[in-house]
Amino acid sequence: MKKCVQCGQTLSDDNRFCHKCGGSAFEEATGAGSYQQPAYQQPVYRPPYQEQPNAGNREPATIGDYIVFFLLQLIPIFNIVYTIIVAVGSPSRKISMTNLARAVLILWAIGLALGIVLSVIGAFSMFSLIGNHKYYY
Ligand SMILES: [Zn+2]
């Protein structure tokens, strides 16, 4: 068996021209094997279902959730531990609170980095001032 390249008509091997479109170009009619390939793509669609365990805490955080979170931010040292625990997240914790805690941690990191940069700049300017004074003596 062979197949017309132009119209896909299946022909017997002794046909020299396609009796449907008149074309003379043929390929081996291995259609039965090649048409099974799409079936292999079906298992790939499974991963989205694995996210469902997190779907339970997709509900928005309430006003009370935010008030508790920010009240606990007022306690020194404990607030760092608490925010990291919330940021790591757990199946029972609301995803919006997890995102809030992550945002707070990022802001802390930015603040810490800015503080380090400013103190380094401050230290250098102090040293240069001391250096200048020595020149004047
Ligand atoms: Zn044809």
94 with 64: CB under 8 angstroms? no
CA of 24 relative to ligand 1 center, distance in Å: 8
Q: Provide the residue ranges of all domains of the chain, joining segments of one domain with +.
A: 2-44, 58-136
Look-up: residue for tokens 């259609």?
Answer: 31
CA of 131 relative to ligand 1 center, distance in Å: 92
Task: Indicate the pTM of the whole model.
Answer: 0.49
CA of 9 relative to ligand 1 center, distance in Å: 5
The pLDDT value recorded for residue 36 is: 47
The pLDDT value recorded for residue 21 is: 93
- Rounded distance between C-alpha atoms, residue 93 and residue 84, angstroms: 13
Other Cβ atoms less than 10 A from the Cβ of 83: the count is 20
CA of 41 relative to ligand 1 center, distance in Å: 30
Other Cβ atoms less than 10 A from the Cβ of 18: the count is 21
Per-residue pLDDT at 24 exceeds 70: yes
Q: What is the mean pLDDT of residues 119-128?
A: 90
CA of 38 relative to ligand 1 center, distance in Å: 25
Per-residue pLDDT at 48 exceeds 80: no
